Chain A
């Protein structure tokens, strides 16, 4: 154990409710910005969302078509693998179930690709059952580019690196294909409740 620094306490750490906050996490009130690269700034006129890969027919939406889809406003807790959690965040977006309606596939996995070079992979099942959205509004305001605007993937039951910012494409794949952080040491699924942070967890 390294020597203790007399009198150092660090930030006040609140007691957390283990039913609400996954193991190893602490609560924050702000919304930290973490990024693997510069912030893309895609104008809505140039934006599109595509579902392709192991599908009968790729599907694609322009921004106008996308925001005309049925949307939901919902409040969820989010958990970052760097150990901060933020409770009660409110978003508006289109359920991925809506986007997958009519999409025929035998694929078991998805790779989300984004403006910039970010990608992330996850089981297709984790994007269904009302557990994932493409979100364009946060706390009632259009989603800020530094938090993933114009639109980001939001999968709150998994660690937040799976909620790919600046998402543009969901590619359905037969095999699990590691994305940016998964290839670098992070877990292919990322369930915070069983602390699936790293390879081998």
Chain B
């Protein structure tokens, strides 16, 4: 086996500062368990929809924890938005969703992620499938789509346990009013009275009904818990979508 070892850091001149300071400007409660953090990041280089940042927290005794969070805001927004969902027994998410407040400081590294990104110039069609808080980076894409007045066919499927857990409900309804955008939901655990959407785990029939079909060669972006993404990606392959057209972002058990 070939081995090429790189010791230390490749550099092209000046030392790169990886971690930037960010200040929380506002916190917005999205659902019972999720909040959006609006951040001011001096010298923010800009980002592409779908990218994420690494967040680092330091306790008084020097203990550090790091997690990755998808950027919820489109590149057009002056403030960086991260939507964080509280994980039961989590180490970082309870702090970010309950303790953190306007004026607090965070450290960020990024934006990163050139593989799971979309910009309007790339066109569509777009097939977006979100499991739970996997909706965050896809929301950045749809917000960017709207900000650019994109005419690309964009279809979003959101899978959640129940309606109260769905992020950005009102905004999604507003985005879906624009012609090229379609948003559909499947609620797998409980449904509000009069619910007319889907009520089961995402399957090939559902994806087929949502479309676009493989022949239209959509860019597919699937984001959510690992098992969800694995399952949906397999169904898309079964429906004939090319592997290279399916972009995935898995949220693992630690989010790291």
Chain A interfacial positions (CB closer than 8 Å to B): 1-11, 13, 183
Question: In this complex, which of B21, B57, B65, B106 has the most chain A Cβ atoms within 10 angstroms of its Cβ?
Answer: B57
Q: Which residues of A contact B64 (CB under 8 A)?
A: 2
Q: Which residues of A contact B192 (CB under 8 A)?
A: none
Query: Is B65's CB under 8 angstroms from A2's CB?
Result: no
Closest partner residue, chain B, to A2 (CB atom)? B58
Chain B window 104-119, contacts with chain A (Cβ cutoff 8 Å), 1 for yes, 0 for no:
1111000000000000
Partner of A7, one of B56, B65, B95, B107: B95
Query: Is B57's CB under 8 angstroms from A1's CB?
Result: no
Partner of B58, one of A3, A11, A13: A3
Say if the beta carbon of B59 comes within 8 Å of chain A.
yes
Q: How far is the CB of B250 from chain A (nearest CB, A)?
A: 15
Among residues 100 to 154 in chain B, which have CB atoms less than 8 Å away from a CB atom of chain A?
100, 104-107
Partner of A8, one of B3, B19, B21, B58: B58
Query: Is B63's CB under 8 angstroms from A13's CB?
Result: yes
CA distance A8 to B91 in the complex (A): 9
Q: Which residues of B contact A8 (CB under 8 A)?
A: 57-59, 65, 95, 99
Q: Which residues of B contact A1 (CB under 8 A)?
A: 58, 62
Chain B window 61-85, contacts with chain A (Cβ cutoff 8 Å), 1 for yes, 0 for no:
0111100000000000000000000
Subset of 8 A-B contacts with CB under 8 Å: A3-B21, A5-B95, A7-B95, A7-B100, A8-B59, A8-B65, A10-B59, A10-B63
Q: How far is the CB of A24 from chain B (nearest CB, A)?
A: 12
Range for the number of chain B residues in contact with chain A: 20 to 34
Partner of A10, one of B19, B65, B100, B106: B65
Closest partner residue, chain A, to B96 (CB atom)? A8
Say if the beta carbon of B60 comes within 8 Å of chain A.
yes
Closest partner residue, chain B, to A26 (CB atom)? B63
Query: Is A4's CB under 8 angstroms from B59's CB?
Result: yes
Closest partner residue, chain A, to B21 (CB atom)? A3
Known: A11-B91, A13-B63. Is A6-B104 also a contact (CB below 8 A)? yes
Q: Which residues of A contact B100 (CB under 8 A)?
A: 7
Partner of A2, one of B56, B99, B104: B56
Query: Is A5's CB under 8 angstroms from B63's CB?
Result: no
Q: How far is the CB of A30 from chain B (nearest CB, A)?
A: 10
Q: How far is the CB of B59 from chain A (nearest CB, A)?
A: 5
CA distance A8 to B96 in the complex (A): 9
Chain B window 45-63, contacts with chain A (Cβ cutoff 8 Å), 1 for yes, 0 for no:
0000000000011111011
Known: A8-B57, A8-B58. Is A3-B63 also a contact (CB below 8 A)? no
Chain B window 21-35, contacts with chain A (Cβ cutoff 8 Å), 1 for yes, 0 for no:
100000000000000
CA distance A42 to B100 in the complex (A): 47
Known: A10-B65, A13-B63. Is A5-B91 also a contact (CB below 8 A)? no
Q: Which residues of A contact B59 (CB under 8 A)?
A: 4-5, 8-10
Query: Is B19's CB under 8 angstroms from A2's CB?
Result: yes
Q: Which residues of A contact B91 (CB under 8 A)?
A: 10-11
Q: How far is the CB of B19 from chain A (nearest CB, A)?
A: 7
Q: How far is the CB of A196 from chain B (nearest CB, A)?
A: 20
Q: Which residues of B contact A3 (CB under 8 A)?
A: 21, 58, 105, 107
Q: Which residues of A contact B21 (CB under 8 A)?
A: 3
CA distance A165 to B95 in the complex (A): 35
Q: Which residues of B contact A9 (CB under 8 A)?
A: 59, 95
Q: Which residues of A contact B106 (CB under 8 A)?
A: 5
Closest 10 CB pairs of A and B: A5-B57, A8-B57, A7-B99, A2-B58, A10-B63, A11-B91, A10-B59, A8-B95, A8-B59, A3-B105
Q: How far is the CB of B54 from chain A (nearest CB, A)?
A: 13
